Structure 1
Amino acid sequence: MTTRPVDPVLSMALFVSDASATRDLDDTAIRDTVHHTLEQLGPDECYARAAQAFGDHPETALPRIQWARELCARALAPALALAAV
């Protein structure tokens, strides 16, 4: 099954959130976290914080953004994934 990418700002919001990558987040928690982070910071601040994380700690930023992209694709784009089948 092929999935379409999620809007990058959604992944960035999860990336810069306080959510722990070691905690198992369900789809509702992912959507709530993304919404809350975007509401609190806005898209520009999410991108700025992500850029700072990649500059300061690239060794941990890469796995975290991969984690955020995978979770957002699962939680925020299920209808797109089904449409591609």
Structure 2
Amino acid sequence: MTIRPVDPALCMALFVSDTPCYSHPDAETVRATVSSTLSRLGRDECYAQAAEVFGDRPDVALSRIQWARELCEEALTPAGAR
């Protein structure tokens, strides 16, 4: 069985959202946040804002993208594919 990674744009949407990095929202909240952020900003703007954070604050960006990836993998990967 091939495990498909979560679309990076979904992780970027959570990354640029207003959700605090120290929080651990449930899967439903992650999905809703990703969906609303993508609807509001679009994929390109999510990437652009993330790039800006990485340029301005790489010390903060690394831990935040790891946090976003972990939450998105938990919330957006089907249970059988983990």
With the length of structure 2 as denominator, give the TM-score of the two structures: 0.91
- Identity among equivalent pairs (%): 60
Give 1:18-57 correspondences, 5 Å limit. 18-57=18-57
Task: Using the TM superposition, give the Cα deviation of residue 31 of structure 1 relative to its aligned residue in structure 2, in angstroms.
Answer: 0.2
Q: Distance in 1 between matches of 2:44 and 2:63?
A: 22
Task: Using the TM superposition, give the Cα deviation of residue 23 of structure 1 relative to its aligned residue in structure 2, in angstroms.
Answer: 1.6
Deviations for 1:8-43, whole angstroms, at most 9, x for unmatched residues?
000000000000111220000000000000000000
With the length of structure 1 as denominator, give the TM-score of the two structures: 0.88
Q: Is 2:78 the partner of 1:78?
A: yes
What CA RMSD, in Å, does the superposition of the two structures yield over aligned residues? Answer: 1.6
- Higher relative contact order, chain-length normalized (CA < 8 Å, sep 6+): 1
Residue-pair matches, total: 81
